[in-house]
Structure 1
Amino acid sequence: MPKLLVVDNEPELLHSIEQALRSENLDVVGVRSGQEAFEILRRLQPDVVMIDVQLKDVSGLDLFEWIKDLYPRLPVVFLTNQADAETAIEVMKRGAYEYLVKPLDFALLQDILQRALELHRPSAMPIVEKKLSSFSNRFTDVMARTTKLLQAREPNIYRSVTDEVDRAILEVVLNHVNGNQLQASELLGISRTTLRLKLRSLGICKFE
């Protein structure tokens, strides 16, 4: 059974999510702090994670960065009380799968989780996974060392380099699928909303 980890301060919301998704054949595990999420994540091995942006003990964005470092392909959905474009763009730029504003629309939530689970299936797009894995393994160690050095000493250069890498990857993938954003988002393992925001933030207009 697929597993969903929900990290949110509000016990009432955790209960509501568990009740709403009970019929969706999902094993829902709710925790109320980033520390609890740290402790349970490796053991639970969830298929999707939902995180409140404003947790009491840690920033939801910091928790997301930690999860992304360990499980870069794991879909993460953000929850927030702030219905503002700035927060939405920030979490999507960081690679979140989707963004939901409270109070939750549970029909929309179910649809998003279904798509995220389909994307995270082990059998989904095996050829793409093999190609990405082969490509990644060749330079992961070098990139990790370079990233730490740039982040510490030259943050502006680091952001410029990562933007150029993102731009190159997006253009290669979109050219490969003839500009089809749905196919591109599936290949990249991100939602179409995230893809559009990335294109906009990087100034890539020819595929919109």
Structure 2
Amino acid sequence: MRALVIGATGATGRELVKQLLADARFTEVVAFVRRPYFEEQPKLIECIVDFENLAASADYIYGDVAFSCLGTTLKDAGSKAAQWHVDHDYQLEFAQWCQTKEVRHFLLLSAVGVDPNSNFFYNKMKGVLEMEVRALHFDQLTIVQPGLILRPNSDRVGEVLAGKMLLFFNKIGLFKQYAPTSTAKLASIFVRESKVKGRGERVIKTKDYTS
């Protein structure tokens, strides 16, 4: 299989590319990156892309399965408008190109609790993206909704503290829907789900994932 990945240099994306390259089922892995990042590997194709001009890289957008893991934080983006542009606009355009190029299976990294009508910016942004990707009618669409993502060696103090608090509350049966998920587990869910044959939509909540 030929796999396409955006967000390949993020914490989840890096782990996903690693696992895809280690899996014999995948013969080519195309990582769309803003600048050179990965070491050369036989199955890896690194496509340097300008997300403001994704059409320039359209010749690389073909394959069996596509993973959309792109995202930023409000702090790194600098404003809500800038975060929306990355987390929503870039991913939606990539999905549109994948549909145009007849990529059969599209897998989207979202979040638990998203809602296009939410009063919370992040939940609304992710909810609108889910809704608009659904409207593209891929043959097969998988949406993965983790709670808190645990990044290895994270330097985000709030994230580390939130992870510890959630683990404590989870032990006493609270906030199970936000149960932390490591990037390694999240990537393994994506890889396994990409091999599931079927049609239509499947929503995966990582707290419920058992297969």
- Of Structure 1 and Structure 2, the greater strand share is in 2
Q: TM bucket by the smaller chain?
A: 0.3 to 0.5
- Of Structure 1 and Structure 2, the greater helix share is in 1
Q: Which has the higher contact order (CA 8 A, sep 6+)?
A: 2
What is the TM-score normalised by the length of structure 1? 0.45
